[in-house]
Amino acid sequence: MDALRSALVSDLNKLKNDMISMVNLVNRNFDLAMEALLERKVDNINEVDVSDEEIDEYHIKIENGCLKTIATQQPVASDLRQIIFYMRSVIHLERIGDLAVNISRIAKIVLLMKHNEKIFSILEEISQKVKLMLSNLVKAMSNNDSSLAESIVEMDEEVDQLYSQVFVEFGKIKEDRNLMKWATDIILVCRFLERVADNVVVVANRFSSLYG
Amino acid sequence: MNFEIKNSNLIEKIRVNDMSLYYKDFKALEDVSIIFYEKNITALIGPSGCGKTSLLRTLNRMTDLIIGARVEGQILLDGVDINNGKQDLPFIRKNVGMIFQKPTPFPMSIYDNIKYGVTISRRIRKIEMDEIVEKSLRAAALWSEVKGKLNHSALNLSGGQQQRLCIARALAVKPEVLLMDEPCASLDPISTMQIEDLMRGLKKTLTIIIVTHNMQQAARVSDYSAFMLAENAGDPGRLVEIGKTEDVFTNPVDRRTENYITGRFG
């Protein structure tokens, strides 16, 4: 049946493949950035920068592909909604890529600093949650699994709660100047992680309403 | 399924109730119920053979001209059944005009083409006729192109101009409803845009029902879209879905509508 609009179907398949490649790359880059920070893998920092350029290229490629398909194939209904989903989601994926770059830069700064165990463990916990959200987004988009996408939305609340816990712990270390510098940078990382989670939620929400 | 659209601002112009159409033993349409609202454009879409043109033709009793054609159910024009035996056929055809796929100018002058329909219903003075001709041609966005050659043959006009002349001819008798059966099928893109632009202007005073195979045209020009389908060869055509055009083309309710407008079947 798809043969009737083979050019449109081919365009949509290409866009979907590019989206999945992009979200996989974003996921991988995020993992590299977190490894750089949590496991002190400094070599990852340069790799994150290089991969981010590739993410930006996907952003432009997918956006142009969407425009071309709209202009030449005049998609409607679910086809049109799918394209609009791609056009809007690439912006959020590209932002996650930028946030991973920001995190990897902070990883370089805090590498040799004295740190606080409690705050570090919260950071690890937030990181694991966000990592799971992002990897579930990859799975949901690869397998057209809207219920998995819906479950991502629920995980965001846990991230928000952990994010507020960081501030409580920060209040306890205010007299240690050396630790303060480290903690300020880590709060910034937590803020970036919270924003990564928000961007994942936006994409997951749009995805579940598209296929739900 | 309820095919009524919930909007208190809409006024019913034509209501079709459980209408079936037969050509001798062949059932072409089955249980069609649909409302066409005043001063709105409704597009009838669907694959070939689903009964779009047949439905259109029942609305001004063009089917009377087909031997063996029979309508069951009701077609109410302003609340009155056009098939009740008491309705005057010329009155119905005057109120419900029709534009066909191929332009059908009469082999006479531009002026006489417009005059023809008007003089069937009443006698008219030359000065008044001149006014009607100008007004109709202006309404059909053709006046500026033909005002200096009203006595020239209509057959010398371009396809797009001929179609607008046919619209002007239909407008001259002041219809309230205009049926358009693929009016742009034989026209180039510029003429198509002119007709579509004209339709948007005409709906301020007219109810327009258009049959089109061009999905983009239905999406561009209509307020409401109705999808019709004959599931299998030989089945009667049925109404599957009607809704606001923007909804039908972004998020249709019925999977069959989705499959058709996205080109999953033809």
Task: pLDDT band for B225, please (50, 70, 90 cuts).
Answer: very high
Lowest-pLDDT choice from A44-58, A128-142, B1-15, B225-239:
B1-15
| Share above pLDDT 70 across residues of chain A, in percent, rounded to a whole number | 97
What was the pLDDT predicted at A3? 54
Establish if B257 belongs to a structural domain: yes
Establish if B67 belongs to a structural domain: yes
Q: What is the pLDDT of residues B165-201, one digit of tens each?
A: 999 999 999 999 999 999 999 888 988 998 999 999 9
Q: Give yes or no for A11 touching B (CB within 8 A).
A: no
* Number of domains comprising chain B: 1
Q: pTM of the predicted model, to two decimals?
A: 0.82
Give residue B38's domain range: 12-102+175-261
A81 to chain B: nearest residue by CA?
B250
Lowest-pLDDT choice from A172-181, A192-201, B21-30, B73-82:
A172-181
Judged against a pLDDT cut of 70, whether residue A4 lies above it is answered with no
Output the domain CATH number for residue A55: 1.20.58.220
Q: Write the CA distances from B11 to B36, B42, B81, B94, B252, integer angstroms.
A: 9, 13, 17, 20, 24
Q: What is the pLDDT of residues B110-138, one digit of tens each?
A: 999 999 989 877 788 999 999 999 999 99
Judged against a pLDDT cut of 90, whether residue A210 lies above it is answered with no
Contacts of A81 in chain B (CB under 8 A): 250-251
B247 to chain A: nearest residue by CA?
A77
* A–B interface: beta-carbon pairs under 8 A: 37
Establish if B38 belongs to a structural domain: yes
| Share above pLDDT 90 across residues of chain A, in percent, rounded to a whole number | 77
Residue ranges in chain A assigned as alpha helix (H): 6-38, 43-73, 77-110, 117-143, 146-172, 177-211
The more confidently predicted of residues A73 and A128 is A128
Contacts of B259 in chain A (CB under 8 A): 1
- B246: closest CA of chain A, how far (Å): 10
Establish if B96 belongs to a structural domain: yes
Establish if B169 belongs to a structural domain: no
Subunit contact B258:A5, Cβ cutoff 8 A: no
Establish if B253 belongs to a structural domain: yes
| Share above pLDDT 70 across residues of chain B, in percent, rounded to a whole number | 98
Average pLDDT for B5-34 = 92
Contacts of A80 in chain B (CB under 8 A): 249-250
Average pLDDT for A147-170 = 92
Establish if B87 belongs to a structural domain: yes
Q: How far apart are CA A186 and CA A181, in angstroms?
A: 9
What was the pLDDT predicted at A115? 81
Judged against a pLDDT cut of 70, whether residue B28 lies above it is answered with yes
* Number of domains comprising chain A: 1
- Nearest by CB to residue A4, choosing from B251, B252, B265, is B265
Subunit contact B249:A1, Cβ cutoff 8 A: no
Establish if B160 belongs to a structural domain: no
Find, among B237, B258, B239, B177, the residue nearest to B210 by Cα: B177
Residue ranges in A111-145 assigned as alpha helix (H): 117-143
Contacts of A1 in chain B (CB under 8 A): 259, 264-265
Give residue A53's domain range: 2-211
Judged against a pLDDT cut of 90, whether residue B48 lies above it is answered with yes
- Nearest by CB to residue A76, choosing from B219, B265, B266, is B219
Average pLDDT for B259-264 = 89
Asked whether the beta carbons of B51 and B28 are under 8 A apart, the reply is yes
Q: Which helix (H) or strand (E) holds B138?
A: helix B126-139
Output the domain CATH number for residue B210: 3.40.50.300
Subunit contact B264:A78, Cβ cutoff 8 A: no
Averaged pLDDT score across all residues of chain B = 93
B220 to chain A: nearest residue by CA?
A74
DSSP state of B157: S
Subunit contact A75:B262, Cβ cutoff 8 A: yes
- ipTM beyond cut 0.95: no
